Amino acid sequence: MSFSSGPTTVTDTSDARDEGDAYSLIDAHSTLDGTLVTRRDLLVEGQVSGTVRCEGTLYVAEGSAIDATIDAANIVVSGTMSGTIRCHGLLEIRDTGVVRGEVDTARLTILEGAVYEGHIRMQPGEVPVPTADSASVGVAEPGAPPANAAASYSFLRSFSASQSSESSSPDDLPGGDVPEDPDA
């Protein structure tokens, strides 16, 4: 690792794949204001502001806070995270998590009780993860999705118990009648 005076710059150049389950840690008693770049998973239990680039999974622990430009392979939020956020894989906001800002992610999970405020842009499939040697950090302007990318759909459905013990029919579904299948 290297540290510099003034605005903090921390660069972890070790390869986590050679060290098993190793991860970087900002503990609950630490505050980082500056740039943090790591090739391994990162667990934040303290306070971070500035820029964070993580080639592994960024874990934001309950009670911690990040206000930064974030670029990570995956993100799991149990604490508070705000800023410009680019997640190349899965962004998971757990029940104690709070996320505010501009989010660009491939996949998203928000658990009941979580808070999200801001703008979100979903990219189908996995977005390539930049390396620690990349020159820029932040959310790049997304291109059009690949021609062979699957379309995205949202479904909302209300499930409730039937008032009788008899089996239900397709006519019992919310929203009215179900059209008959012409191929049946």
**Which of the residue ranges 25-39, 58-72, 80-94, 142-156 would you say has the lowest mean pLDDT?**
142-156
CB distance 25 to 19 below 8 Å: no
Closest CA to 81 of 73, 96, 90: 96
Task: Say what the pLDDT of residue 151 is.
Answer: 40
Q: How far apart are CA 69 and CA 65, in angstroms?
A: 13
Phi, psi of 98 (to 5 degrees): -130, 125
DSSP letters along 52-119, please? EEEEEEEEE-TT-EEEEEEEEEEEEESSEEEEEEEEEEEEEE-TT-EEEEEEEEEEEEE-TT-EEEEE
- The pTM for the full model equals 0.61
Q: Which two tokens stand for residue 122?
A: 């979903």
Please state, as a whole number, how many other Cβ atoms lie within 10 Å of the Cβ of residue 86: 26
Q: What angle do CA 100, 106, 110 make, to 5 degrees?
A: 50
Task: Say what the pLDDT of residue 134 is.
Answer: 42
Higher pLDDT, 171 or 98: 98
